[in-house]
Structure 1
Amino acid sequence: MKKIYTYLFLVVGFTTTLKSQTIDVSADLRPRFEYRHGYSTLFPDGADPAAFVTQRSRLNIDYQSELLKVMFSVQDVSTWGDTRQILPIDGNDSFSLFQAWAELKISKNWSTKLGRQSIAYDNERIFGGLDWAMQGRFHDAALIKYQNSSFITDVGFAFSQTSQQNEGTAYNVPGFFTYKTMQYLYAKKTWEKASASFLFLNTGFQKFDENDQADGVYYTHTVGSYFKFPIATVNISGSAYYQFGKAYPINTNLNAYELMLEGSYKPQNTLFAVGFEILSGSDQGETPDKSFFPLYGTNHAHNGFMDYFYVGNYANSAGLNDIYGKVVFKTSEKANLLTSIHYFAANGNLSDNADAYLGTEIDLQYSHKLMKFATLKVGYSHMFASESMSLIKDGRPHDNTNNWGWAMLVINPKLFSHKINN
């Protein structure tokens, strides 16, 4: 708390020197109940389903002037009941700093943004804020940004270290695709009804020798594009990415790709969409040198809500062919119902010449805006797994019921807003 008070004092003091500033304070509270009976992997024999409530409690402070933007966000992410009552401190270490960044305006079109920040682009396939996960996703990075009315360019840099050291730069913080160094270039051009973007991402991972001593850095490169444009009344969107360099974490040569194409049509209040996505994969049992992984995106939004693929799992895998369709019905002025179906198949060859078909998933999600600052969301998903799904899910049985239900209340009021004109 002392750090928060110090930060507020500095912000308030700085405001006296500028002509026009705004300060906004908002909250983000979202308790979510989940019933898991085969979520993210096949349900085993003889097990009991899981049920729990998790909650995000986040406080956001935003400051903005002509020359400076500052964002400060702290959060607690915990499961109801995970800390014993009347403890003098939170015993589960659930409190964290989510964002703390400053963006300085250099000129009319140029700025620089430094600090802990969420990075999200396009459909959030490669870079995403991961808002579905209670903790979200952040990067400790520095950005150089250019923007005009129809074109933006971001150049980002990151260099991660375990702690402040006197010798060496060995980096051993655990985590899925946790990088030691990162550089990227993102550019996007927008027309009246269309847009196209380009991304080049270089991520470096610490390499260790057989004695667990730091032994250099190996790099994974991702390059590609995302686009949107209309054809008459149909909106087309798609992406194409290529990965090369070295594969994480096995340091072998990588040659992988992702392709996606979707068409959507919205007559009046109903949205219809069909599409496919291909993520290349390696043959099971062979060197995983053809397995694409979407890195730092919001992967929950792709390939089904049950998170069987690429949500902290399925790296160096047989890949995925996903054919899907979805319909979003507007059930009232403040509510809608999303229904989607996914047909999943392995992209690479499975062991024992097994059939490539993995399963079919059905997702339902109902959203109702109860008031200006509160939305109720309820979801149900069901996976109809094939026998081949067992081959990529540690041999678990495919014929048990695999379903998942959840209900979440998103409460995000603006607590305070003040504009200063000096």
Structure 2
Amino acid sequence: MKQFSRKPRSRNCITLNAAIALLAMLFAGAAVSEDGAPTSKDSGNSIAGSGVSLSFRYRYEYVDQDGISDEAKALTLLSRLSLQSDLYRNFDFFVEVDDVREVGFDDFNAGAGNTPNRTQYPVVADPEGTEVNQAYIDYNANNWSWRLGRQRINLDNQRFVGGVGWRQNEQTFDALSAVYKRGKVTARYAYIATVRRIFGDDVAAGRHEQAGTHLLNVSSEIEGLGKISGYYYTIDNEDSPASSTNTYGFRLSGRRGVGSSKVRYAIEYAAQTNGADNPVSFGANYWHLDTGVIFGDFDVGLGWEVLTGDANSPGEAFRTPFATLHAFNGWADKFLTTPAAGLDDRYLKFGVTRGRAIVQLRLHSFEAEDGGSNFGDELDLRVGYKLNDRLRCDLFFASYDGRNDIADTDKLWLMFSMKL
């Protein structure tokens, strides 16, 4: 294990981080008053063609976890106000304010120290608060698009970089990003100054400062094959050095017609090493195979996802600190952090979409990648219905049957989403 010491940050790094932070602060001041309510300036369309939108998500979440005596019951409401300006001389801006409130049951631990008086409950990571979720300026010219400020960044299937939109408080990034498009090729780059995590601004875990984090992703559509992406992500996390990594890889996804059906497929591989001031020197690998058949309203498939590790050397497992983790390795969220021995996830998927209704079923079998220890099984179920163009209702259920001292966990969500 190498000795940890924080290297001094370069003057250029400090200057760029400060500029990005200042822009986010300026927008925050313009977007909300001290009590979090929109100001009159925001609600007026001072720029021709600008638009305002409002959305809500009301959710009940229940968690029953072995080893914790009390069950979590959370009723929270996410309210989101967004303002998009019109284009003016190739510039436009966007501001989005989120408010999360406990409305009803509050028998839950919001996590990361947000509710220190409620630690007797399982975690439901939806802390209360009013925050500027996004606030950025765009510049678009020729084949280039530039964005400066607080922004959502979703790359590929969000396995490595995503907004964690499942939680009420989304993950966004204070960043400078650029997109270049030419023909079927798209190149994306982002310099990250700060990661605004799902735990909110009131706790240290809700904000991770970066000191040279760069994301590069280049993709192209290849006729007859699908979309292929190559990427290189280097993370230098000041507040969580163990998350500092260098990752490069590729992803291929597509679908092809076979008679009256379609076959979909995705193949991905990535290699990772320690980066910046990570206290552990390691190398790890990731691969994911996913395939299925779509016939009529039905989608049936299977997959195999592996994150390598070393059972005898903690800290050497493959990790994805910026990912939308809920979408992978089971909805019960038992493997948000990769076990030291790695993770081998083999799963079956079934889905049907008919009219406004959707049903999804997933079955997971988990093992340690190193040593093959049984990590348990999980069943996930979703039933959803779109009532109209503005309102939908979804029921989710996850049941994890644990092994090797990983606690059995059942979770239930009922949520209503509305857009105005």
The answer to whether the aligner puts 1:335 opposite 2:369 as a matched pair is no
Q: How many residues are paired up?
A: 355
2:137 corresponds in structure 1 to 102
Deviation at 1:156, TM superposition (A): 1.2
Q: Separation in 1 of the partners of 2:159 and 2:243?
A: 23
1:184 corresponds in structure 2 to 215
Deviation at 1:24, TM superposition (A): 2.2
Provide closer, same or farther for how the CA distance between residues 261 and 178 of structure 1 changes in structure 2, counting only shifts above 3 A: farther
The answer to whether the aligner puts 1:245 opposite 2:274 as a matched pair is yes
Deviation at 1:161, TM superposition (A): 11
CA contact 2:213–2:237 (8 Å) conserved in 1: no
CA contact 2:62–2:72 (8 Å) conserved in 1: yes
2:345 corresponds in structure 1 to 322
Q: Separation in 1 of the partners of 2:387 and 2:195?
A: 44
Unaligned runs of 5+ in 1: 16-20, 84-90, 163-171, 209-215, 350-354, 414-422
The answer to whether the aligner puts 1:308 opposite 2:337 as a matched pair is no
The answer to whether the aligner puts 1:273 opposite 2:295 as a matched pair is no
The answer to whether the aligner puts 1:348 opposite 2:370 as a matched pair is yes
Provide closer, same or farther for how the CA distance between residues 76 and 358 of structure 1 changes in structure 2, counting only shifts above 3 A: same
1:18 corresponds in structure 2 to none
Q: Where in structure 2 are the equivalents of 1:347-386 lying within 5 Å?
A: 347-349=369-371, 356-386=373-403
The answer to whether the aligner puts 1:134 opposite 2:168 as a matched pair is yes
Q: Where in structure 2 are the equivalents of 1:113-192 lying within 5 Å?
A: 113-160=147-194, 174-175=205-206, 179-192=210-223
CA contact 1:246–1:254 (8 Å) conserved in 2: no
Residue type of the alignment partner of 2:396: G
CA contact 1:383–1:402 (8 Å) conserved in 2: yes
Q: Separation in 1 of the partners of 2:147 and 2:342?
A: 35
The answer to whether the aligner puts 1:49 opposite 2:90 as a matched pair is no
Provide closer, same or farther for how the CA distance between residues 22 and 380 of structure 1 changes in structure 2, counting only shifts above 3 A: same
Residue type of the alignment partner of 1:320: L
The answer to whether the aligner puts 1:23 opposite 2:50 as a matched pair is yes
CA contact 1:337–1:367 (8 Å) conserved in 2: yes
Q: Give the counterpart of 1:197 among 214, 229, 246.
A: 229
Q: Separation in 2 of the partners of 1:82 and 1:53?
A: 5
Deviation at 1:138, TM superposition (A): 0.2
Deviation sequence 1:3-49 (CA, Å, 0-9, x none): 8537638x944x3xxxxx632211221111011112xxxx116x132
Q: Separation in 1 of the partners of 2:263 and 2:217?
A: 27
CA contact 1:31–1:53 (8 Å) conserved in 2: yes
1:263 corresponds in structure 2 to 291
Q: Separation in 2 of the partners of 1:333 and 1:230?
A: 22
1:212 corresponds in structure 2 to none
Q: Percent identity?
A: 22
CA contact 1:247–1:254 (8 Å) conserved in 2: no
Residue type of the alignment partner of 2:263: V
Q: Separation in 2 of the partners of 1:218 and 1:320?
A: 17
Deviation at 1:118, TM superposition (A): 0.5
Deviation at 1:62, TM superposition (A): 1.5
Provide closer, same or farther for how the CA distance between residues 50 and 206 of structure 1 changes in structure 2, counting only shifts above 3 A: closer
> Secondary structure of 1:190's partner?
strand
CA RMSD of aligned residues (A): 2.9
1:166 corresponds in structure 2 to none
Deviation at 1:69, TM superposition (A): 3.2
1:32 corresponds in structure 2 to 59
Q: Separation in 2 of the partners of 1:74 and 1:240?
A: 36
Residue type of the alignment partner of 2:333: D
Residue type of the alignment partner of 2:83: I
Q: Separation in 2 of the partners of 1:348 and 1:293?
A: 15
> Secondary structure of 2:139's partner?
strand
1:282 corresponds in structure 2 to 310
CA contact 2:314–2:340 (8 Å) conserved in 1: no
Provide closer, same or farther for how the CA distance between residues 258 and 161 of structure 1 changes in structure 2, counting only shifts above 3 A: closer
* TM-score, with length taken from structure 2: 0.77
> Secondary structure of 1:65's partner?
coil
Q: Separation in 2 of the partners of 1:123 and 1:303?
A: 14
Deviation at 1:377, TM superposition (A): 0.3
Provide closer, same or farther for how the CA distance between residues 144 and 327 of structure 1 changes in structure 2, counting only shifts above 3 A: same
* Structure exhibiting the larger radius of gyration computed from Cα positions: 1
Q: Separation in 2 of the partners of 1:204 and 1:343?
A: 33
Deviation at 1:307, TM superposition (A): 0.4
CA contact 1:37–1:404 (8 Å) conserved in 2: yes
Unaligned runs of 5+ in 2: 1-31, 107-114, 116-126, 197-202
Q: Separation in 1 of the partners of 2:355 and 2:264?
A: 24
Q: Give the counterpart of 2:98 among 58, 75, 100.
A: 75
Provide closer, same or farther for how the CA distance between residues 376 and 287 of structure 1 changes in structure 2, counting only shifts above 3 A: closer
CA contact 1:234–1:264 (8 Å) conserved in 2: yes
